[in-house]
Amino acid sequence: VKVRFSKTGKDDRIVEASEGDTLMQTALSNGIDEILADCGGALSCATCHVHVAPDWMDRVGPPGDEEAAMLEMAVDPDGTSRLSCQIVMRADLDGLEITLPKSQL
């Protein structure tokens, strides 16, 4: 399945994700350096913060309770914020569009 990572509209990178991998793993294995993921997916760092394109929010779904609490530690979270280590890639997320937070560029 494909994922597009963009930085405010420019320098888009389309990468191939494997189903079952998290979005965070997908970013790291494809050299998306803006996602730090300091805690390695343990839901304790918020450095894997991303914005999901509004059109995709329904399919991706809202953060869980623990994730929402951790998102408050991220810089400028909003209604499209998710932690990428908590999004598991699956077939119906093919074409997913992600914007990297300005604070991580």
Residue ranges that bind ligand FES, judged by CB under 6 A: 24, 37-39, 41, 43-48, 70, 83, 85
Between 10 and 67, whose beta carbon lies closer to ligand FES? 67
Q: Considering beta carbons, is residue 70 or 93 the nearer one to ligand FES?
A: 70
Q: What is the DSSP string of the chain?
A: -EEEEEETTEEEEEEE--TTSBHHHHHHHTT-TT---TTSSSSS--TTEEEE-GGGHHHH----HHHHHHHTTSSS--TTEEEGGG-B--GGGTTEEEE--GGG-
Ramachandran assignment for 9, one of left (phi > 0), alpha (psi -120 to 50 degrees), beta (any other): left
Q: How far is the CB of 10 from ligand FES (least distance, A)?
A: 25
**Minimal distance, residue 40 CB to ligand FES, in Å:** 6
Pick the closer one to ligand FES by CB: 55 or 72.
72
Of the pair 43, 53, the CB lying nearest ligand FES is at 43
